Amino acid sequence: MPSFRRFLAAAVLTAGIAAPFIAPVGPAGAGSSAPPIHSLPLISQVSQAPRRASTMAYHGGPVMVGPVNVYIVWYGDWSKAALRQTIITDFIGNLASPYFAINSTYPDRAKATVANTVVLAGQVNDAYSVGKKNLSDERIRTVVTTTLSKGALPTDPHGVYLVITSSDVNKQGFLTQYCGWHTYTKVGAKGAQTAIKYSFVGDPTGPKMRGCTPQMVSPNGDAAADAMVSVIAHEIDEAVTDPTLNGWYDARGNENADLCAWKYGTTFDVGSAKANVTLGKRSYLVQTNWVNVGKGGCGLSVGG
């Protein structure tokens, strides 16, 4: 299966970029039949040396054709982080843009593509339902499935569900192996299941934050929020073009955003901070995405 080939790729380097960390979702990662996670490595794990063009390949699986609905589970204690939440929701609410339109360069078998339409379709709070220390990937999946089973958010095949943890939550692997990840799970009765695409993104506030952001200043007055925004962009870009891990990726298992991890293109100054896109009323420093036309390349729009 493609996910097995990509698990092997996790230990190699290719064209100046680290292959993504892939691990099964399950207790201690052992004996799990759940799909693996596909993660964004730390800055220190990704070389910024010039890299040759990659050949992105389509493996026959779905892409998220049509509009994309984003749902957020605010996990933990966000009572003192209102600005951080606002920066993130403003970003998602304005993500339909030339930047997001890059994902339209990844068609399915019928040549249908992701629409340049992104809606923040729902939010819910979760006050530590699976604890706050040493959370596993399996517990993140439990947060998603429990939220859906209780009807707190709809079960939406067009949805990408973000579990965003507060700064006091300790997640296994976060800030030591990766900055975020995406995967999917199937919910519903056998024979009528829905593939739910979801992602983990943690608040990196603390001494290890430099592993997940190139700058400790922010165009929006909150460095942690801006760090999370770029990770969110990375994970959504990959979730829509490789939602069930058998869509678009290269020979080493790198998805579109992996090829441009921690690369930003042309930037501009916002006070003492750097930014490269303006969406709505805010500017952000967001990693580029792989434009899958011609020879390919990292860009902030289909045009570059």
* pLDDT value of residue 31: 41
Q: How confident is the model at residue 11 (pLDDT cuts 50, 70, 90)?
A: very low
The 10s digit of each residue's pLDDT in 228-247 is 999 999 999 999 999 999 99
* pLDDT value of residue 178: 98
* pLDDT value of residue 23: 59
Separation of alpha carbons 33 and 60, rounded Å: 21
The residue segments making up the domain with residue 171 are 2-299
280 SS3 class: coil
Distances (CA, A) of 32 to 35, 94, 154, 221, 276: 8, 37, 26, 41, 40
Separation of alpha carbons 12 and 20, rounded Å: 9
Mean pLDDT value across residues 286-300: 95
* pLDDT value of residue 190: 84
Task: Report whether pLDDT(150) > 60.
Answer: yes
The 10s digit of each residue's pLDDT in 17-39 is 455 655 556 443 334 467 999 99
* pLDDT value of residue 191: 82
The 10s digit of each residue's pLDDT in 38-56 is 999 999 998 766 666 678 9
Separation of alpha carbons 142 and 165, rounded Å: 14
Residue 207 CB-density burial (10 A; 0-12 exposed, 13-18 middle, 19+ buried): exposed
Task: Report whether pLDDT(2) > 70.
Answer: no
Mean pLDDT value across residues 129-150: 98
The 10s digit of each residue's pLDDT in 47-105 is 766 666 678 999 999 999 999 999 999 999 999 999 999 999 999 999 999 999 999 99
Task: Report whether pLDDT(114) > 70.
Answer: yes
* pLDDT value of residue 217: 97
Separation of alpha carbons 179 and 209, rounded Å: 9
The 10s digit of each residue's pLDDT in 152-188 is 999 999 999 999 999 999 999 999 999 999 999 999 9
* pLDDT value of residue 266: 97
Residue 75 CB-density burial (10 A; 0-12 exposed, 13-18 middle, 19+ buried): buried
**Which helix H or strand E contains 292, and what residues bound it?**
none
- What residues contact 171, with CB distance under 8 A and at least 6 apart? 135, 140, 165, 200, 202
Mean pLDDT value across residues 258-268: 97
Q: Identify whether 32 is part of a domain.
A: yes
Q: Identify whether 304 is part of a domain.
A: no
Question: How many structural domains compose the chain?
Answer: 1
Distances (CA, A) of 300 to 80, 254, 267: 32, 18, 11
Q: Which of 39, 57, 49, 41 minimizes the C-alpha distance to 15?
A: 49
Q: Which of 46, 39, 77 minimizes the C-alpha distance to 205?
A: 77
* pLDDT value of residue 14: 37
* pLDDT value of residue 28: 36
Q: Identify whether 206 is part of a domain.
A: yes
The 10s digit of each residue's pLDDT in 178-206 is 999 999 999 998 888 999 999 999 999 99
Compute the C-alpha angle 59/22/275, nearest 5°: 90
The rounded mean pLDDT for the chain is 90
Instruction: Tell the residue number behind the tokens 């230990």, with chain if given.
Output: 11
Q: How confident is the model at residue 304 (pLDDT cuts 50, 70, 90)?
A: confident
Q: Which of 107, 5, 14 minimizes the C-alpha distance to 53?
A: 14
Task: Report whether pLDDT(15) > 50.
Answer: no
Tokens of 80: 């003192």
Contact 105, 237 (CB under 8 A): no
